[in-house]
Structure formats: C-alpha cells, structure tokens
Amino acid sequence: MLVCLNGTFISAQQAKLPISDGGFLFGDSLFETFKARGQKILLSKEHLDRLELSAQLLNFPCDRPLIESSLQQLATKLSAPASRIRLTISRGSHQGLTLPDPAQGWFLLTAVATSELSEQERQAGAICVIAPNQRVNPLSQLPQMKRGNYADCLYAANYAQQKGAREALFCAANGNILEGSTSNIFAVIENQLVTPPTESLVLAGVMRRQIINAASETGMTVAEKMLPLMTLLQADEIFLSNSLIEVLPVSIIEGQPCNRGQYWQSLLAKVKCG
C-alpha cells in the first residue's frame, strides 16, 4: 500500500489520526475513489472537480494544487497493472461541535492493487438485490456527495454480499430505483438510455457522466428520469457503472432474469478509450 498524508509519503504504520478528528467522530469527511491503469490515473480532473465542488459547498479545506501534485507523485510509484486510489479530506480535530480552523485540515491518499473485471465476469453480468434500507442524504438541501458518513451504502453493500449478489439497489418509498450502493444504474428502454436524475439522493457519478457523453456520441437519446422498479425489470438491457468497474451488465434482479443486450459493449469501448 502506498500512503501519502498532506503531501508526504509515509508507511501505513505511520499514518495516524487524533481521536478528536471529525472524520472519526462524525463521519465528517469527503472522499473520492480513482482507478489507475499502470501509472495513469484515470479521470483525475473529473474526480477532483467533484471533490472541490463538495468542499466549497460544505466549507471544507481543500488544497487542490497540493493534492494534484501528490497524485502525480503517487502515479510514478504505482507498479500494479491496475490500482484503486482513495483520496480522503477532513477538517481535522474538533472541540465539541464547533468546526475546526481550516488550517487543521488534512488529506490522505492511499493506493492498493486492484483487479480488472474479466470478460467472463462482464458476460455473466451482475446479480442484484433490492437494498433493505433507504438511501439517505443528511444534507438534503444539497446534492448527494461522497461523504465519510457512508453507513447507508455500507450496510446495503454488505446485505448484497450476504445474499450472494454483487450489488444492492436502493429503491425509494414510491418504487423508483435510485442507484446502487456503489454504482449508478442505466437501462435501455425503447431505444432510449434511461438513468435516474441526480438529485438529493442520487450521486453524480464520474463514470455516469462519461457514459452519458459516450451515449450521445453514438446517437442514442439519453433520458434522465424516474425509473420505477417494474419498468426497470422490463428494460431491454440494464447495466451498472462506477469508476472501477466502468460498465457492468446486470443479469438478475431479486431472482428475476433481466433482458440482455449488447449496447453496453460499445459504451465500454468508448469510455475505456476516453
């Protein structure tokens, strides 16, 4: 594992935080997950743009130039064919509920080897279940962000694992599918690519935006609209997306086989080239 704290590379054993840190006490942190192939970090600008916007909305300290410089140094140290990189930022130590001085803020980069999805895994498709819990946003007046307060996604993801599934899909009380615990969802319906709109409960995924752009380039109409579960189950094709898996078809939802298509393959080729 590679570890970089505030621009300095250290061992994992040296990476320590005070027990008064807001990320530890309250989950008050922001994070991004990047994928690297070899020594190339993919879509780093897009990830940092999203992080910077979230930091501005929540008044988090975010030294983007130093983070960018540290990412560049990190890239030169990567040795695996594929790596998963996590960037976390925190405000620092709290005294009660008062937000710390911005000077106490810190950022942490970690990198570990990861495995690419095989062609066999993509062809087999993802088995999905419906999450037993609801997707939440404690800051409902703001867009959904990648915050350290991640319990809803954590519990949903573990529920999926317990059920032998790859992903748990969040379903709103009105029956609309929102997203997966770690992914956005797309469906091909009557020659349209449909995905739920990014509002207070749906994350504006970096790979989601790449797929929308790629679909538009192929001439496919993209509709960001509500996606009821019953409509999803009748779709011509369904797939998941995030920065690590890129595009992964869905084969089964709650034990019901899904229609399979091939459009995902053209989108995968486009986002990989991008």
pLDDT tens per residue, range 128-137: 999 999 999 8
Name the token pair of 38. Answer: 């070899």
Could you state, in order of their start, the residue ranges of all structural domains in the chain?
2-113, 119-273
Confidence of residue 111 (pLDDT cuts 50, 70, 90): very high
Q: Which one, of 243, 238, 240, 247, lies nearest residue 266 by Cα?
A: 247
Residue 18: Cβ-neighbour burial (10 angstroms; 0-12, 13-18, 19+): exposed
Q: How far apart are CA 107 and CA 191, in angstroms?
A: 44
Confidence of residue 116 (pLDDT cuts 50, 70, 90): very high
Confidence of residue 95 (pLDDT cuts 50, 70, 90): confident
Is 80 exceeded by the pLDDT of residue 273? Answer: no
Q: What is the mean pLDDT of residues 4-13?
A: 96
119-273 CATH, one of 3.40.50.2300, 3.90.550.10, 3.20.10.10, 3.30.1150.10: 3.20.10.10
Please give the CATH architecture assigned to the domain spanning 2-113: 2-Layer Sandwich (3.30)
pLDDT averaged over the chain? Answer: 95
Q: What is the mean pLDDT of residues 40-67?
A: 96
Confidence of residue 140 (pLDDT cuts 50, 70, 90): confident
Is 90 exceeded by the pLDDT of residue 274? Answer: no
